[in-house]
Amino acid sequence: MAVGTISLTLKVWRQAGPDQPGRFETYRAENIPTDVSFLEMLDIVNDGLEREGKEPIAFDHDCREGICGSCGAVVNGRPHGPRRATTLCQLHMREFRDGETLVIEPFRAKAFPVVKDLVVDRSAFDRIIQAGGYVSVRTGQAPDANAIPVPKHRAERAMDAAQCIGCGACVAACPNASASLFTAAKIVQFAMLPQGHPERVRRVVAMVEAMDREGFGSCSKHYECEAACPKEIKVENITLMNREYLRAMVRED
């Protein structure tokens, strides 16, 4: 099958290290096949940079199939690029026109310091999870399947929330750099299920406290997080998180 190619101008944020000043550098991406992914396009550009003896553009990636949450950059003002519900690694170059200029920036938030170029440190998310994103399980024999009944609508809400891959696009998209959508998804996936109930009250208070401690902003209901989320996590989760928080204020642990 004949494959089309496009050529692009890239303006890429280059920053040698966390405490180094960063700036945009302009590169040409010539004859890029339209069926390669965005990350493969960066691989091609990096091959060229290495041949010229230049430092390649650093970016995070792992599975390259849209499920690990490692990749992500802001392309022309959109985290993960222009295609809805798609991670950067699953974005194909056919989404762009020949001759286009792409401004590629890291996810920006004070709580996500730049490590290098497009790589940011998202360990703030890990610390939010550590604060309460787990359930207590008795050791011993594996329980029987379906021993605990779960209503279908609650199971669906939990599974929808559990789609979150923790990529940080919600924070990147939010005008307040709020981590509310991430934190909400991680709270709701447990709050909806009986397995999550023993820690239900403590979890929401502890995880929100951890979220605040990391220096993320608050939720002003701009809905930008939802528009950027590659897994289509809904703002409804923030409604449910707030409900959980109010519940924690009136319920004994």
Binding site for another protein (CB under 8 A): 11, 13, 22, 24, 74, 76-78, 103, 105, 108-111, 131-132, 173, 175-178, 199, 201-203, 205-206, 208-209, 211-212, 215-224, 226-228, 234-236, 238-246, 248-249, 252-253
Token pair of 6, please?
């496009």
Question: Least distance to another protein from the beta carbon of 191, Å?
Answer: 11
Q: Closest CB to another protein among 69 and 81?
A: 81
Question: Least distance to another protein from the beta carbon of 241, Å?
Answer: 8
Q: Closest CB to another protein among 43 and 199?
A: 199
Question: Least distance to another protein from the beta carbon of 94, Å?
Answer: 20
Pairing of strands 5-14, 101-105: parallel
Q: Closest CB to another protein among 52 and 252?
A: 252
Q: Closest CB to another protein among 155 and 246?
A: 246
Query: What span, in angstroms and rounded, lies between the C-alpha atoms of 43 and 59?
Result: 10
Q: Closest CB to another protein among 162 and 227?
A: 227
Residue whose C-alpha is closest to residue 106's, from 57, 73, 59: 73
Question: Least distance to another protein from the beta carbon of 173, Å?
Answer: 7
Question: Least distance to another protein from the beta carbon of 182, Å?
Answer: 14
Beta carbons of 107 and 78 less than 8 angstroms apart = no
